[in-house]
Amino acid sequence: MRLALAYAKAGTIEYGRYTPYSIPTLALPAVLMLIFGHQVVDDEPERMVAGFAATALITVSLFQFGVGIAMGRITPWETYLRTLPAAAATRIAGRVLAALVFAVATVVVVLVVGASVYGAGFGPWRFGALILALLLGSVPFGLAGIALGYWLPPRSAMPIANIVIIPVIVVGFLWTRPPDDLPRGADLASQLTPTRSWAEVLDSVSTGDHPLPLHHVAALLGWMVVFFALAWWGYRRDEGEQFA
């Protein structure tokens, strides 16, 4: 555990000093909410704020895991670390803890802006449930980021992450409710995405308008298994290429 904390401390300092990453990560979701929030709030500021908080966590997952791992794979320092006796789980745990620091910070920024600008408010129980739904719902996306980091070539990781993030959010209706006249085929395609499942869970938790959709909870668990398998496969593949 001490070694994982040491990795986490080093990673937090490294990413914190790299302002092209740290400043956009902390500010982008809140800025997007300020730009688009008035168009999508639809008298449900709590649901909208929950969606933008989820956006913040997806951003951290794709960039700190996906881009960070992909770029780190080609550095001499990362190669050296992988020759040490510390297990891969220890290094990953340190990276996760470092990502958690940025995730918490950017979610706090979103919640503060949502409360001050849009009047979003959560009671103690609902706030706790929202935080739990955000943390657990972000796990599949963190695993997806790790998988991307080990499968993508380093030079293509950044542009692909930038290309993927907005369509994934829009198709899953993370910021708004799906329109009533959405074609059945489009709705089915949306239902099959992890962002739509997460959006439905956050909708239930943040507004209390309907019971927790257990089938979407099960879908998120399924995506978690899929992305874990891809991340592990990608890691073992990269390990074989690096040290075969």
Given a contact cutoff of 8 angstroms between Cβ atoms, the answer to whether 7 and 92 are in contact is no
Q: Which residue reads 């992890």 in tokens?
A: 194
Q: What is the mean pLDDT of residues 227-231?
A: 95
* Max Cα–Cα distance, the chain, nearest Å: 57
How many Cβ atoms from other residues are within 10 Å of residue 83's Cβ?
9
In whole angstroms, give the CA distance from residue 67 to residue 159.
Answer: 9
121-155 pLDDT, tens digit each: 888 888 999 999 999 999 999 999 999 999 988 88
**Joined tokens for residue 133:** 């739904």
42-61 pLDDT, tens digit each: 778 899 999 999 999 999 99
Whether pLDDT at 244 is above 70: no
pLDDT of residue 243: 64
Domain ranges (residues) in the chain: 2-243
92-114 pLDDT, tens digit each: 888 888 888 889 899 999 999 99
From the list 82, 56, 221, 223, the residue with the least C-alpha distance to 150 is 82
Q: Which of 31-45, 83-97, 208-222 has the highest mean pLDDT?
A: 208-222
Instruction: Flag whether the pTM goes above 0.85.
Output: yes
66-76 pLDDT, tens digit each: 888 888 888 78
Phi-psi bin for 43: left (phi > 0), alpha (psi -120 to 50), beta? left
**Joined tokens for residue 222:** 């399924």
